[in-house]
Amino acid sequence: MIDSLLIANRGEIARRIIKTAKRLGIRTIAVHSEIDRDMPFVREADEAVCIGPASAKESYLNADRIIEAAMRTGAKAIHPGYGFLSENAEFAERVTASGLIWVGAPATSIRAMGLKDAAKKRMIAAGVPVTPGYLGEDQADERLQREADTIGYPVLIKAVAGGGGKGMRRVDSAAEFPAALASCRREAVAAFGDDRVLIEKYILSPRHIEVQVFGDTHGNVVHLFERDCSLQRRHQKVIEEAPAPGMDASTREAVCKAAVQAARAVDYVGAGTIEFIADASDGLRADRIWFMEMNTRLQVEHPVTEAITDQDLVEWQILVASGEPLPLRQEQLSINGWAMEARLYAENPSTGFLPSIGRLTHLRFPEGVRVDSGIEEGNEISSYYDPMIAKLISHGAARQDAARRLARAAGSVEVWPVRTNAAFLARTLDHPDFKAGTVDTGFIERHATDLIPPTEPSERVLQAAARAILPKLGGDIWTMASGLRMNAPASREIGVEVGGAAYRVELRDDGGEPAATHAGVLFLDGEAWAFGPPRAGHAGGSAGHFDGAIVAPMPGRVTALMVDKGDRVTRGQPLVVIEAMKMEQTLSAPFDGVVSEMKVLADAQVVEGSVLMQLEGDQ
């Protein structure tokens, strides 16, 4: 058994590996960038080594420094997690050449599955069904156009060296093909340094089905059943579940058998995932499910497989890398219940899911579900790495049980001041079509209007906010009556500020349960709203934004302040400059007035929605 393990990764997956390694009595070594030195995974490892600046290229992608850290700390093995160097064949070879154990797929297998066209040719030879398409060496534009015309539109152009949704274009007609091909080639070169493409038949009702496989050095290969990863946004997975809804026993047997054939075709060792595309227009059928690609590593969504099989896949990885046979035979594995995983991201759905960065001053995860997270309250979401906050994983006896628990968990997430997709996840899990299992890869785009929360607070939020401020305003709802009216009941309308806007709220008797609040922030249904009593002079009508609040339109750094408290300003006068992603935005005065409050300093990092200063208009 491996006795010491260096984790060449960060965040959630590093913590996940450390947890299993500690249970097995294995000494753990974390490597980290300078900006990550205070992250939980660094503290939880037995030893930690700083390997460079914040940039991944200079730290987590720096093979020299990682191997040097392993040698210096006496590590016997390296676990790459997922992402970064996990599917880098050259790195895998360097690890083993250094006398270390590589807890991952063999370099030969990584290479065999790394190029989509070569992988498909190998799968065809192994008898694994593949999507109809063109995999030829002739990359002339005219040849590709002819092949697409022959296949029939719509088609999908895919970068041969692609991954992560990059270098992919759907084409619906022959006239669109040349421009789409050129765009795909440009993106492929920028992302992978390779402009070669393949053409596939585009499936109109696609389901993304993947099978977890595992091989050992003794020639054994098993599957741990399928996962459905059809809930995607821009080819990025959002919600995953196991087993796949609508999958009958015979179809499952055929797909899982094909996955094992695929793994055997490349002499696979370790954890891997065979991804299939299914035409679900007539339900899931074995003759309409085709090989798409293989991920030669542990997947982000591996916890749902762990939940339904009651197995620790990281432990399996360590055992296999130590030379031991697989812990179980195929006939010893079975499906127990249903599991779902939702990826909680620091992003704002109302702005096209742009990342939201900043320090997490308040963070509360839900109870009743498994939470795999790489961060804690007080940590910062930076622009250097993936903005995932946590994975929420539910398990139940049936699909509806797992969905209900996960929806409730997403709705009870509390994060501030960074924006999250928690409300979006809760709405998705509660959507009637999702609950019915009517899902495909176009689900989110098709239902975007229902899934993306509105930018204005709902009536539920306003009622909750109004009731939450009652103690601050003197007591019960009757104390807040605006006065007795002749031959009419007393008004129960009060003023409240929510999200920087003023509202008059008529308190209802059926206001519901109070929402969670913390330090002037209300949390309800996965959303977070700054709230409080109305400020003087801002009683509000039915609703209205305070024109005097200068608010950050995006997360970034304050690079210049052109005014100070007490300064008189004129409409259009520049007030503050914010920089993010090497772009600057200047905020100007919306009217003539005076700077009454300054709430930010130069060089400060701010999150989207932060009030930077307050203006008072001329009377």
What is the set of active-site residues? 297
Q: H/E element holding 142? A: helix 141-151
520-557 CB burial, b ≥16 within 10 A, e <16: ebbbbbbbbbbbeebeeeeebeeeeebebbbebebbbe
The 3 state secondary structure assigned to 96-149 is HHCCCEECCCCHHHHHHHHCHHHHHHHHHHCCCCECCEECCCCCCHHHHHHHHH
SS3 helix, strand, coil % of the chain, rounded to 5? 30, 30, 40
Structure token pair of residue 500: 């920087």
SS3 label, residue 470? helix
How many degrees, rounded to 5, is the angle at CA 311 between CA 243 and CA 4?
A: 135
Go through the chain and tell me how many residues it has: 619
Rg (CA), the chain: 27
Identify the bridge partners of residue 241 per DSSP, sorted by sequence position: 228, 340
- 507 - beta bridge partners? none
CB 262 within 8 A of CB 215: no
H helical segments located in 1-44: 11-23, 40-44
Q: Which two tokens stand for residue 332?
A: 């010893």
Q: Which of 582, 579, 555, 519 is nearest to 420 (CA)?
A: 555
Q: Return d(Cα 75, Cα 68) in angstroms, integer.
A: 10
Q: What phi, psi does 427 have (nearest 5°)?
A: -65, -40
Give Cα separations from 566 to 307, 576, 586 (angstroms).
60, 15, 20
Place of tokens 């694994």: 128
- Which letter does DSSP use for residue 215 in this model? E
Q: Cα–Cα distance between 298 and 270 in angstroms, integer?
A: 9
Please name every residue paired with 158 in a beta bridge, in sequence order, or none if there are none.
Answer: 168, 198
Q: What's the first-to-final CA gap in the chain, in angstroms?
A: 78
- Using CB atoms within 10 Å of the CB of residue 99, give its burial: 0 to 12 exposed, 13 to 18 middle, 19+ buried: exposed
DSSP string computed for 496-543? EEETTEEEEEE--TT--SPPEEETTEEEETTEEEEEESPPTT---SSS
Taking the mean position of all CA atoms in its chain, how far away is CA 284? 27
**Strands 27-33 vs 4-7: parallel, antiparallel or unpaired:** parallel
Contact 200, 116 (CB under 8 A): no
Q: At what angle do helices 89-97 and 107-114 cross, to 10 degrees?
A: 170
Calpha distance 551→377 (Å, rounded)? 24
Q: Are 330 and 223 in contact (CB under 8 A)?
A: yes
- Report strand pairing: 347-348 vs 27-33: unpaired
